[in-house]
A and B are shown apart, each in its own frame.
Chain A
Amino acid sequence: GDSVTQTEGQVTVSESKSLIINCTYSTTSIAYPNLFWYVRYPGEGLQLLLKVITAGQKGSSRGFEATYNKETTSFHLQKASVQESDSAVYYCALVPPPNYNVLYFGSGTKLTVEP
């Protein structure tokens, strides 16, 4: 079936340092899924951070970026310089073809940015 794997449950980074949160995906479909990063800030609902629907393309938002790599089936989230306000839980997700309606989520990575 379709699944998403995030290997780090928690990550702690000092402010202004770089960040990478790993995400790999698996799909049984011949066609490519759409890939997403969602974020949940403390006390808030899940919100879309960025989305990429074409293999090989890069998505970016709020200084974060992720590249859809179909060879390694990865969609790692990166940021060059994190801020305290980036502290949140980040979820990698996919919607598989043909309907592209059902989100499959990773287990989430809690990011803590220390001052």
Chain B
Amino acid sequence: GPKVLQIPSHQIIDMGQMVTLNCDPVSNHLYFYWYKQILGQQMEFLVNFYNGKVMEKSKLFKDQFSVERPDGSYFTLKIQPTALEDSAVYFCASSWDWGGAEQYFGPGTRLTVL
């Protein structure tokens, strides 16, 4: 079936540094999502994105977070600066439509902030 890729699979950085997580969504999808899962906890919604704009975001989507998809390339999540509590697995998803369409997930990027 359709695949979402995430690069890298694991990233280790020092607190205060900037990090960019990359997502290669399914090719004809137009809607994009990030979810965050802290070890031992539930996966939680961060943000969704369409046509160059953030559509919805949760309280977890702090001011230090930003998303973009320049020129139809990777859909990225940038954290600047990082904090210890940002350590988690970040999952990207994409869908072809809004409002209940199936979201296809990537395998996740494990971010470790030291």
CB distance from A95 to the nearest CB of B (A): 6
Cα distance, A100 to B45, chains bound together (Å): 13
Q: Place the interface of chain A in its size category.
A: 20 to 34
**Interface contact A102-B45, CB-CB below 8 Å:** yes
**Interface contact B102-A101, CB-CB below 8 Å:** no
Tell me whether A104 and B41 are in contact in the complex, defined as CB-CB below 8 angstroms, given that A95-B100, A99-B56 are known contacts: no
**Interface contact A101-B106, CB-CB below 8 Å:** no
**Interface contact B56-A46, CB-CB below 8 Å:** no
Q: Which listed segment binds B: A10-18, A21-29, A47-55?
A: A47-55
Closest residue of chain A to B5 (Cβ to Cβ) is A45
Closest residue of chain A to B2 (Cβ to Cβ) is A47
A residues within 8 A CB of B75? Answer: none
A106 at the interface (CB under 8 A from B): yes
**Interface contact B107-A104, CB-CB below 8 Å:** no
A residues within 8 A CB of B96? Answer: none
Cα distance, A48 to B102, chains bound together (Å): 8
